[in-house]
């Protein structure tokens, strides 16, 4: 018996000696990506991951991020949050305490960004959610930022646009009651519209539940209500179904959407039915110029489709992160201090010139940026129609 | 060829037998003590050892994440695990088995409760020291313990009573929302409910009340299912419970007061590790007693043959309603804890995904079994965390594993096994056992 | 009145899907007493296979290899996909359910659930997160019948699904195999002893159920041309509700319950604010079950769980 113990212990000692004891550690900047790779919205996760990988390529080509005259290599820690709130919290905790990331980009959907933001704020780690439009995500959380505009801004933009463009007075809204983004936007739109046209001017306010595919009873009601325009702040997969079914039920008036339409998939899934419709978004892919076009072309070449708003916003968020890190001046090596410095630098970012517009953060960590109204052309491209700034 | 094979078999058998004889006399107390030493060891030399082995840091969840991410790390991670956990635990447990047995025997002379409390205290010390290494471990541990409560409570209905209830996410949602509303109204300045009514210092004392309220609300919800269950069973009850789950989710989505689909956030940070641990222990203890009582036997009778049970003077209605209320209560408590660990709830969390998760835990661990529920809850939640580096393929590997378990052990890993607390804390060597025989059986 | 009829038409279409999927569920359930929780995902796989077949055949036709009218492509797609998907069903039965035939039914249900997750994730891993658009096989034409809008698709979907249901009914009533199935549903233990090959019957049940699910998947693709890997989950669970509501193994019951579920969802949304749809629709189902605890056509004794 004793022999075996001796053997084991000597084994350990020998291996301890032979394993290189001091592996030289290069200081790398770690950036966490918290994305829904599986679950309800895998497409969003995919866009996030692709944009992040493309960004990493650029950074690698430049030899890393330069801070205070020294270049640091960058590593991405991409984790799947399964599109679940508790999983997003776990991922954030893991990335902050285990992987010791400097900054977190994500989670995308508000359902995960709100609880995950709490974690990031508690551990004093800067986090930027590219896509979460819920005000609660950043509210009273100095360490949490976002890359997109908020629902309270987008609602009035659309109401004003419809009123000014068509002169309508009766609108209908169709939205997903179980998903906070469409629901929030639908309510803000309703408020803004009723302010413009008086109470009761939203003649139909209809809803459905996530994963529904049949909207015929709601649409039948909407058609019967005599609305002049249908507003539906839905995701691209539902847009295709809603528009098509509305046309089949005899609706031939305009349908207007929000930034969630801004995916290449909208037209791909919807086809001719969507031609000629308007929506507001962060950026217009067709007719884009300069950097934006460059990004789109590169992404399209690399992954085979035109990037959606998630990819563009993730790209911009990473750009902001990079700018902030560069402005820190010096990385101390003490992760907590560095995080605080990065957070301060991020709050000070002024007029960041991203592909989705110029951004400056408010005190809450929300960017002030312009919305773009886009028309889907008869070739299925997103044409710039007009730009609305706060 | 055959001879060699036989030889190998013989050797492994003898090793197994030796190992068993080596450790057969180690009581639970000894094991716990060994673990304590191991976690203390990790705490003080873990980092240095990890560094010298070329690991970037202490392997968090027993190194699985590290090994999957970088297969080159396998030897050093295994070595780390061996030196920090396997070796100290086995050596210490073996060395102190003598004294530990004596202590265990002594403890049995006192009321059994004291012995149990000492064991639980040791267990908590181990978990605490283990999890203190990082916040990630703490969070994982908390969610794992909550999963254990949930699994255990569902096992009462699905395992002991033999129904196929699909409503657990619904009960959990009710509990989560009720407890959250209670704490948020009382202790948080919130835009939904206005100013805090009580000073925040009182919050930790009121938290148990919040959880109990959560449990009671969930139990009230359970009446909706329990009453139809008088007249129907099995498949029809399964869809009643499923409908109930859809109803709860839809109802919360329509309740603007609690935030609707946007969810309810800013719960005070009350669910600390000791709180969650105490509630988990309480749940295990109560459930264990519940299923071992005549009520538990009545549940089994109802499961095996309702008519016969009725004929044998089992009050089937009361049995069913008690089981449902009991299970729902604990699911509600789990929900309340869950809400306060995450500090955010939304109705989308309590959907079909959650249902699949809980069902998998119950049937993986084992039906009709307190042990099984603990095993199922712990192993599936740990597995989900540890296999993270596999990304998408995690959700192929885990289901595959479950299917294999179902095929080879159709009732789950440890089915039909309850805790016998007396046996558990008993000394394991013959002489001390005999001495304390009277105490244990009494 | 037009409003009502419009909704009636909508509900007929929506109910057809529930009914078709519930039928497959109900058959497996009736004969093997299993909850086949993978059925919703087989529906998804069927839709994807249909997508592949339709794209393939259309590509062949466009290369000029064969000249086919669009409707014939659709018919071909349905037939080929039903055939292919039935193999998927048999595979699921062979790997996931047959080893568990003696096990508690709930364990088999868990296996089904897990097979479903594997199918979803497998699809995600294979095809990526991109949602796919089902090719347009029939040109949508809208007829306005005094204010009620009916499309040719809707008519086609309802007619095809009714035909399939009728075919299934005839198969079960008229053929020897159908008789074997009914016998098996009547007594799972004794009938195999009388020389009815249980494995063949079980495989066949799964094959037929999966084929029906595939048909439903393709019709779904025609009506709602957006496919994603997770589309089967909600359908699966709701069809589960319909199948059991109909009563154990009753084809008529499953069909009726499927349509009932479709009607409930559509009409509740028509009368009440659509926000409350799930709440009210499922409360009604709960009430129905409280007063008719064994579904429409189920017998009380069959409701016993084997464990």
CA distances, A175 to each of B255, C130, C228 (Å)? 17, 23, 20
- Residue C299's pLDDT is 62
Residues B45 and B10 both lie in one domain? yes
Q: What value does the mean pLDDT of chain B take?
A: 84
Largest CA distance in chain A: 93
Please say if the pLDDT value at position C306 is more than 50. no
Residues B197 and B56 both lie in one domain? no
- Residue B328's pLDDT is 95
pTM of the model: 0.86
Residues B127 and B178 both lie in one domain? no
Cβ of C128 within 8 Å of Cβ of A177? The answer is no
Cβ of C151 within 8 Å of Cβ of A265? The answer is no
Report strand pairing: A202-208 vs A229-231.
unpaired
Q: What residues have CB less than 8 Å from C96, skipping those under 6 apart?
A: B403, C38, C108, C111, C112, C114, C115
Q: What value does the mean pLDDT of chain C take?
A: 85
Percent of residues, chain C, with pLDDT higher than 90: 26
Interval C233-277: pLDDT, tens: 888 888 888 888 887 667 888 899 999 999 988 888 888 877 788
Please say if the pLDDT value at position B313 is more than 90. no
A20, A80, A97 ranked by CB distance to B391: nearest? A80
Which chain C residue shows the shortest CA-CA distance from B398?
Answer: C114
* Within this chain, domains A29-148+290-369 and A151-281 share the same CATH topology: yes
* Residue whose C-alpha is closest to residue B239's, from A151, C261, A137: C261
Phi-psi region of B61 (alpha: psi -120 to 50; beta: other; left: phi over 0): beta
- Among A3-12, B297-306, B326-335, C98-107, the range scoring the smallest mean pLDDT is A3-12
- All residues of chain B having their beta carbon less than 8 Å from the beta carbon of residue C254 are none
- Dihedrals phi, psi of B346, to nearest 5 degrees: -140, 155
Measured in angstroms, the CA of C284 and the nearest CA of chain B are apart by 9
Final residue of a domain: which of B132, B156, B178? B132
SS (H, E, C) B320-350: HHHHHHHHHHHHHHHHHHHHHHHCEECHHHC
Please say if the pLDDT value at position A52 is more than 90. yes
- Residue A21's pLDDT is 40
Final residue of a domain: which of B117, B132, B147? B132
- Among A244-253, B432-441, C59-68, the range scoring the smallest mean pLDDT is B432-441
Report strand pairing: A229-231 vs A255-257.
parallel
Is the Cβ–Cβ distance between B180 and B264 less than 8 Å? yes
Looking at per-residue pLDDT, the higher value among B3 and B153 belongs to: B153
Mean pLDDT across the stretch B388-396?
A: 82
Residues B120 and B235 both lie in one domain? no
CB atoms within 10 A of CB A143: 24
Chosen CATH of A29-148+290-369 out of 3.40.50.2300, 3.90.280.10, 2.40.50.140, 3.40.710.10? 3.40.50.2300
- Residue A287's pLDDT is 63
Cβ of A94 within 8 Å of Cβ of B79? The answer is no
Mean pLDDT across the stretch C276-298?
A: 81
Mean pLDDT across the stretch A220-237?
A: 87
C228 touches chain A (CB under 8 A): yes
- Residue A5's pLDDT is 64
- Residue A9's pLDDT is 60
- The Cα C274–Cα C272 span in angstroms is 6
What chain C holds in terms of domains, given with CATH numbers, is 2-303 (1.10.3470)
Measured in angstroms, the CA of A106 and the nearest CA of chain C are apart by 18
Residues B143 and B128 both lie in one domain? no
Q: With bands split at pLDDT 50, 70 and 90, how would you rate the model's confidence at B431?
A: low
Q: With bands split at pLDDT 50, 70 and 90, how would you rate the model's confidence at C179?
A: confident
Locate the domains of chain A by residue range: 29-148+290-369, 151-281
Orientation of helix C232-246 relative to helix B352-365, angle to 10°: 70
Q: What value does the mean pLDDT of chain A take?
A: 83
Burial (CB count <10 Å: 0-12, 13-18, 19+), residue A199: exposed
Percent of residues, chain C, with pLDDT higher than 70: 95
- The Cα A365–Cα B136 span in angstroms is 26
- Dihedrals phi, psi of B65, to nearest 5 degrees: -60, -45
Cβ of B263 within 8 Å of Cβ of A180? The answer is yes
Looking at per-residue pLDDT, the higher value among A287 and B378 belongs to: B378
- All residues of chain A having their beta carbon less than 8 Å from the beta carbon of residue C7 are 216-217, 220
Q: Per CB distance under 8 Å, which residues of A are interface residues toward C?
A: 37-40, 42-43, 45-46, 177, 206-209, 211, 213-214, 216-218, 220-221, 224, 236-237, 240-241, 244, 247-250, 265, 268-269, 271, 305
In a domain, B253, yes or no: yes
- Residue A32's pLDDT is 92
* Residue whose C-alpha is closest to residue C102's, from C220, C221, C189, C225: C189
Residues B146 and B126 both lie in one domain? no
Is the Cβ–Cβ distance between B376 and B362 less than 8 Å? yes
- All residues of chain B having their beta carbon less than 8 Å from the beta carbon of residue A90 are 136, 139-140, 143, 385
Q: With bands split at pLDDT 50, 70 and 90, how would you rate the model's confidence at C296?
A: confident
Q: What is the span of the domain harbouring residue B300?
A: 135-422
Please give the tally of structural domains in chain B: 2
ipTM of the complex: 0.85
The C-alpha torsion from B53 through B56 and B58 to B59, rounded to 10°, is: -90
Final residue of a domain: which of B132, B155, B186? B132
In a domain, B434, yes or no: no
What is the separation of C-alpha C65 from the centre of its chain, rounded to a whole number of angstroms? 34
Q: With bands split at pLDDT 50, 70 and 90, how would you rate the model's confidence at B435?
A: low
DSSP 8-state secondary structure symbol assigned to residue B157: I
- H-run or E-run covering C289: helix C277-291
- The Cα A376–Cα A281 span in angstroms is 12
- Residue C53's pLDDT is 92
Measured in angstroms, the CA of C191 and the nearest CA of chain B are apart by 23
Interface test with C, best of B154, B221, B234 (most C CBs within 10 A): B234
Domain A151-281 has CATH 3.40.50.10490: no
Cβ of C290 within 8 Å of Cβ of B359? The answer is no
Please say if the pLDDT value at position B78 is more than 60. yes
Residues B126 and B139 both lie in one domain? no
Please say if the pLDDT value at position A23 is more than 50. no
B95 touches chain A (CB under 8 A): no
B131 touches chain A (CB under 8 A): no
Residues B155 and B281 both lie in one domain? yes
Residues B256 and B140 both lie in one domain? yes
Please say if the pLDDT value at position B180 is more than 80. yes
Residues B358 and B319 both lie in one domain? yes
Orientation of helix C251-271 relative to helix C2-32, angle to 10°: 140
Cβ of A89 within 8 Å of Cβ of B52? The answer is no
- Residue B430's pLDDT is 64
Interface test with C, best of B407, B411, B412, B416 (most C CBs within 10 A): B407
* Residue whose C-alpha is closest to residue B134's, from B70, B45, B36, B47: B47
- The Cα B270–Cα A35 span in angstroms is 28
Interval B80-125: pLDDT, tens: 888 888 888 888 888 887 888 888 888 777 777 888 888 889 899 9
- Residue B145's pLDDT is 94
Please say if the pLDDT value at position C102 is more than 50. yes
Residues B159 and B121 both lie in one domain? no
Cβ of B239 within 8 Å of Cβ of C125? The answer is no
Q: With bands split at pLDDT 50, 70 and 90, how would you rate the model's confidence at C214?
A: very high
- Residue B3's pLDDT is 67
Percent of residues, chain A, with pLDDT higher than 90: 14
In a domain, B437, yes or no: no
- Dihedrals phi, psi of B397, to nearest 5 degrees: -65, -50
């Amino acid at each position: 018996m004793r022999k075996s113990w001796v053997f084991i212990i000597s084994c350990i000692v020998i291996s301890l000696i032979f394993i290189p004891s001091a592996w030289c550690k290069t200081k790398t900047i770690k950036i966490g990506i918290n994305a829904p790779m599986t679950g309800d919205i895998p497409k969003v996760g995919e866009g996030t991951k692709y944009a992040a990988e493309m960004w990493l390529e650029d950074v690698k080509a430049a030899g890393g991020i330069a801070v205070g005259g020294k270049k640091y290599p960058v590593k991405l820690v991409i984790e799947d949050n399964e599109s679940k709130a508790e999983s997003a919290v776990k991922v954030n905790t893991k990335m902050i305490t285990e992987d010791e990331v400097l900054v977190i980009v994500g989670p995308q959907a508000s359902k995960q960004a709100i609880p995950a933001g709490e974690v990031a704020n508690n551990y004093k780690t800067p986090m930027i959610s590219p896509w979460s439009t819920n005000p609660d995500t950043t509210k009273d959380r100095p360490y949490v930022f976002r890359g997109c505009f908020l629902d309270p801004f987008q609602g009035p933009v659309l109401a004003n646009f419809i009123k000014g463009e068509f002169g309508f007075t009766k609108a209908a809204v169709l939205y997903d009651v179980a998903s906070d983004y469409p629901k929030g936007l639908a309510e803000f739109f309703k408020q803004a519209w009723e302010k413009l046209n008086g109470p009761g001017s939203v003649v139909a306010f209809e809803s459905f539940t996530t994963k529904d595919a049949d909207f015929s009873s709601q649409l039948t009601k909407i058609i019967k209500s005599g609305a002049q325009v249908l507003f539906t702040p839905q995701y691209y997969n539902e847009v295709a179904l809603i528009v098509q079914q509305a046309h089949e039920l005899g609706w031939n008036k305009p349908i207007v959407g929000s930034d969630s339409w801004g995916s290449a998939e909208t037209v791909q899934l919807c086809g001719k039915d969507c031609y000629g419709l308007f929506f507001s978004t962060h950026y217009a892919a067709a007719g884009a110029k300069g950097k934006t076009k460059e990004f789109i072309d590169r992404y399209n070449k690399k992954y085979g489709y035109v990037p959606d708003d998630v990819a563009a916003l993730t790209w911009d968020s990473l750009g902001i992160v990079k700018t902030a890190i560069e402005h820190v001046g010096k990385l101390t090596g003490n992760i907590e201090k560095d995080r605080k410095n990065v957070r301060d630098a991020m709050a000070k970012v002024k007029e960041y010139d991203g592909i989705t517009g110029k951004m400056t953060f408010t005190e809450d960590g929300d960017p002030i940026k312009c919305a773009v109204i886009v028309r889907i052309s008869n070739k299925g491209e997103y044409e710039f129609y007009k730009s609305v700034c706060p | 060829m055959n001879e060699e094979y036989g030889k190998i078999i013989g050797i492994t058998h003898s090793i197994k037998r030796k190992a068993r004889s080596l450790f057969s006399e180690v009581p639970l107390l000894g094991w716990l003590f060994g673990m304590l030493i191991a976690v203390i060891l990790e705490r003080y030399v873990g980092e240095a050892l990890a560094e010298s082995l070329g690991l970037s840091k202490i392997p968090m969840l027993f190194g699985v994440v590290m090994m999957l991410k970088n297969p080159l790390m396998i030897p050093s991670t295994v070595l780390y695990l061996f030196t920090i956990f396997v070796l100290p635990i086995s050596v210490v447990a073996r060395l102190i088995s003598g004294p530990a047995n004596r202590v265990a025997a002594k403890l049995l002379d006192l009321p059994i409760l004291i012995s149990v409390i000492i064991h639980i205290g040791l267990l908590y010390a181990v978990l605490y020291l283990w999890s203190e290494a990082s916040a990630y471990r703490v969070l994982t541990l908390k969610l794992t313990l909550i999963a254990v409560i949930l699994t255990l409570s569902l096992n009462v209905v699905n395992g002991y009573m033999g129904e196929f209830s699909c409503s657990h996410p619904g009960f959990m949602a009710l509990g989560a929302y009720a407890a959250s509303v209670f704490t948020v109204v009382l202790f948080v300045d919130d835009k939904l409910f206005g100013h805090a009514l009580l000073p925040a210092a009182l919050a930790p004392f009121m938290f148990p009340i919040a959880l109990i309220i959560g449990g009671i609300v969930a139990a009230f919800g359970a009446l909706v299912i329990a009453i139809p269950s008088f007249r129907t069973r099995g498949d029809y009850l399964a869809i009643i419970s499923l409908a109930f789950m859809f109803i709860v989710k839809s109802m919360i989505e329509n309740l603007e007061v609690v935030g609707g689909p946007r969810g309810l956030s800013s719960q005070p940070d009350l669910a600390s590790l000791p709180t969650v641990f105490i509630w988990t222990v309480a749940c295990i203890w109560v459930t264990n007693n519940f299923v071992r009582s005549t009520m538990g036997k009545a549940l089994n009778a109802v499961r095996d043959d309702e008519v016969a049970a009725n004929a044998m003077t089992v009050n089937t209605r009361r049995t069913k309603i008690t089981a449902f209320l009991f299970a729902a209560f604990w699911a509600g408590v789990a929900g309340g804890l869950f809400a306060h660990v995450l500090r955010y709830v939304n109705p989308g969390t309590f959907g079909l995904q959650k249902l699949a998760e809980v069902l998998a835990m119950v049937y993986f661990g084992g039906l009709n079994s307190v042990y099984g529920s603990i095993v199922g809850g712990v192993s599936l939640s740990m597995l989900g965390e540890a296999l993270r580096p596999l990304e998408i393929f995690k959700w192929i590997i885990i289901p595959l594993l479950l299917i294999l378990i179902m095929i080879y052990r159709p009732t789950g890993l440890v089915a039909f096994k309850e805790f016998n607390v007396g046996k558990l804390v008993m000394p394991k060597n013959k002489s001390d056992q005999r001495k304390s025989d009277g105490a244990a059986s009494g | 009145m037009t409003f009502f009829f419009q909704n009636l038409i909508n509900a007929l279409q929506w109910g057809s899907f529930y009914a078709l999927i519930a039928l497959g569920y109900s058959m497996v359930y009736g004969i093997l007493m299993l909850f086949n929780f993978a059925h919703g995902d087989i529906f998804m796989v069927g839709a994807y296979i249909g997508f592949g077949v339709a794209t393939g055949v259309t590509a062949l036709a466009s290369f000029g290899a064969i000249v086919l009218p669009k409707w014939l492509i659709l018919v071909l797609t349905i037939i080929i996909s039903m055939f292919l998907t039935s193999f998927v069903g048999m595979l699921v039965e062979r790997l996931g359910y047959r080893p568990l035939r003696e096990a508690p039914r709930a364990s088999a249900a868990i296996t089904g659930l897990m097979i479903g997750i594997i199918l979803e994730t497998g699809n995600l891993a294979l095809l990526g997160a991109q949602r796919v658009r089902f090719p347009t096989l029939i040109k949508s034409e809208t007829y306005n019948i005094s204010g009620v809008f009916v499309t040719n698709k809707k008519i086609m979907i309802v007619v095809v699904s009714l035909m399939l249901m009728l075919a299934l009914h005839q198969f079960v009533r008229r053929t020897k195999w159908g008789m074997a199935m009914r016998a098996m549903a009547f007594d799972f233990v004794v009938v195999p002893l009388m020389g009815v090959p249980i494995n063949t019957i079980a495989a066949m049940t799964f094959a037929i159920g999966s084929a029906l699910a595939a048909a439903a998947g393709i019709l779904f693709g025609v009506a709602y041309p957006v496919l994603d890997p997770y589309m089967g989950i909600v359908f699966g669970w709701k069809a589960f509700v319909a199948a059991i509501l109909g009563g154990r193994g009753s084809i008529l019951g499953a069909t009726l319950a499927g349509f009932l579920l479709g009607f409930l969802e559509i009409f509740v949304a028509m009368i009440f604010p659509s926000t409350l749809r799930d709440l009210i629709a499922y409360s009604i189902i709960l009430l129905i079950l409280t007063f008719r605890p064994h579904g429409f056509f189920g017998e009380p004794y069959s409701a016993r769980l084997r464990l």
